[in-house]
Amino acid sequence: MTISIQNIRGFSDVLPDESPAWQFVEQTFRHELERYGFDEIRLPIVEKTALFSRSIGEVTDIVEKEMYTFTDRNGDSLTLRPEGTAGCVRAALQRGLLHNAQPRLWYAGPMFRHERPQKGRYRQFHQVGAEAFGVPGPDVDAELILLSGRILRALGLRDVTLEINNLGTSETRARYRDDLIKHFQAHAEHLDDDARRRLHSNPLRILDSKNPAMAEVIASAPDLLDYMDAEAQAHFTAVRAMLEATGQAYRVNSRLVRGLDYYGSTVFEWVSEHLGAQGTVLAGGRYDALVEMMGGRATPAIGFAAGIERLVSLVEAAGSVPDKTTTQAYLIMTEPTLAQNALAIAESLRTQMPTLRVQVNMGGGSMKSQLRRADRSGAAFALILGPSEAAAGEINIKDLRGETEQYTVAIDRLPAVLSSFDSR
Ligand code: ATP
Ligand code: MG
């Protein structure tokens, strides 16, 4: 059989055997974010195109060539969100959340970028993001980094390392930019097409290039940290001191710049060695200018976003995903006419045992085929209902995994019996 319509390239299905890892990652983020005082915000997946082109920056990979932009039936230019910060800031401003408040918000969901699909890089991918508004730092910078470290530890990931940098103020970046352009112009023969194109519009982004042919010209470029003014220096020193005071190891990477224009001051990334070129699992930074740029009152802010697909593949490799509770009981009936008794028994069990996973055999079948389905469901035991048991208010229990012989119990004793199975 050929299926006539397939998925779109770069848009994946998460199959049932993969969902425990997804749930583990998502629940861990939710749990830890809530513990640090973050509240969930749910945002639209589609926004006006201008929201992204203005906030992310016109001369970025995302805005130049990665956005899923379309004109809707009203003639408006709309875009599938490529990241979450712009929409979060839009909502916070529009709904007055920043008014006399310092909200801490988190969100999760799909993002869309038209990139070249490969391991760890998809066109629909998922992020959990967190944004903290109204605090100039450095305390909140350090806390956000510590929070992200805690989440990665809770996920059982040990081989991830923290890199930090400080992009300084827009004035220092402007001076640095000029010198960078001079440096790259002097070595123009080593630049690739992307770098040449960006030389004047976004030279800092060249530092972020993953092209090995440019490693040398990047390594010999001037160092951003040499340009830092006293205020940025003090901020960076304070963040570092707070990390050190809490025992959080880090590496200063002065080549660490973020792909989006709105970042300044503190930036950080958590990187795994196990993912090849797609090694960054969580990245964030300060964006003090964005809220004002989008029409609000000047409001300092910092946030991060984590890539769920990359984390899922790491937790799977690390074996840290908790076992899923499989079906515990599978209810079989010897006659199709017993279906209503079976449903009633299962309903009553679910009411009495809130964590029990019980499946009722549907669609009939011989005893043999029902038992085969029971086995495949992963159930620990089968409950077998025949007409005489139904009449007597009883049911048979067959141990599918252990040695115990099949036996009969009163239906109202089932919860007690099943609990004892549970704890063996
Ligand atoms: P990269 O350098 O890997 O392209 P980025 O700087 O574009 O990342 P951000 O916009 O900061 O990434 O997004 C935060 C995180 O989201 C990344 O660190 C990564 O884990 C994940 N991510 C980004 N783009 C993709 C993608 N196309 N597919 C899967 N995950 C992604
Ligand atoms: Mg990218």
Q: Which residue segments constitute the domains of the chain, with CATH numbers given?
A: 19-168+228-318 (3.30.930.10), 329-419 (3.40.50.800)
Q: Is 305 in the pocket of ligand 1 (CB under 6 A)?
A: yes
Cross-strand pairs, 409 = 395
**Rounded (5°) CA angle 98-99-104:** 30
Ligand that lies nearest to the alpha carbon of residue 86, given by its number in the listed order: 1
Confidence check: pLDDT of 403 > 90:
no
Token pair belonging to 181: 């352009």
**pLDDT by residue (tens digit) across 328-348?**
899 999 999 999 999 999 999
The pLDDT assigned to 271 comes to: 96
Count of other CB atoms within 10 angstroms of residue 102: 15
The pLDDT assigned to 421 comes to: 66
Q: Is 125 in the pocket of ligand 1 (CB under 6 A)?
A: yes
Nearest protein CA to atom 5 of ligand 1, as residue:
259
The pLDDT assigned to 113 comes to: 97
Mean pLDDT of the chain: 93
Question: Under 8 Å CB-to-CB from 274, ≥6 apart: which residues?
Answer: 159, 314, 317
Confidence check: pLDDT of 114 > 60:
yes
Region of poorest pLDDT, from 7-11, 25-29, 32-36, 278-282: 278-282
Distance CA 122, CA 137 (A): 34
Q: Whole-model pTM?
A: 0.91
Confidence check: pLDDT of 200 > 90:
no
Confidence check: pLDDT of 238 > 60:
yes
The pLDDT assigned to 60 comes to: 81
Q: Are 62 and 83 in contact (CB under 8 A)?
A: yes
**pLDDT by residue (tens digit) across 150-193?**
999 999 999 999 999 999 988 888 899 899 999 999 998 889 98
Under the banding of pLDDT at 50, 70 and 90, the label for residue 258 is confident
pLDDT above 70 covers a percentage of the chain that reads 98
**Type of residue at 131:** E
The pLDDT assigned to 260 comes to: 75
Q: Cα 155 to the chain's mean position, in Å?
A: 12
More reliable by pLDDT, 52 or 258:
52
CA distances from 126 to 86, 166, 219 (A): 16, 27, 32
Confidence check: pLDDT of 46 > 90:
yes
Q: Is 122 in the pocket of ligand 1 (CB under 6 A)?
A: yes
The pLDDT assigned to 423 comes to: 52
Distance CA 143, CA 94 (A): 27
Q: Choose which residue among 14, 127, 211, 315 to substitute to test ligand 1 binding: the one with the highest number of ligand atoms within 8 A of its C-beta.
A: 127
Q: Is 256 in the pocket of ligand 1 (CB under 6 A)?
A: no
Under the banding of pLDDT at 50, 70 and 90, the label for residue 278 is confident
Under the banding of pLDDT at 50, 70 and 90, the label for residue 59 is confident
Question: What average pLDDT does the segment 222-227 reach?
Answer: 90
The pLDDT assigned to 86 comes to: 96
**Closest ligand 1 atom to Cα of 279:** 3
Under the banding of pLDDT at 50, 70 and 90, the label for residue 275 is confident
Confidence check: pLDDT of 352 > 90:
yes
Confidence check: pLDDT of 203 > 70:
yes
The pLDDT assigned to 337 comes to: 94
Instruction: Look up residue 63 and give its DSSP letter.
Output: I
**pLDDT by residue (tens digit) across 373-392?**
999 998 999 999 999 999 99
The pLDDT assigned to 300 comes to: 97
Question: What average pLDDT does the segment 92-107 reach?
Answer: 97
The pLDDT assigned to 409 comes to: 95
Instruction: Look up residue 46 and give its DSSP letter.
Output: E
Confidence check: pLDDT of 422 > 60:
no
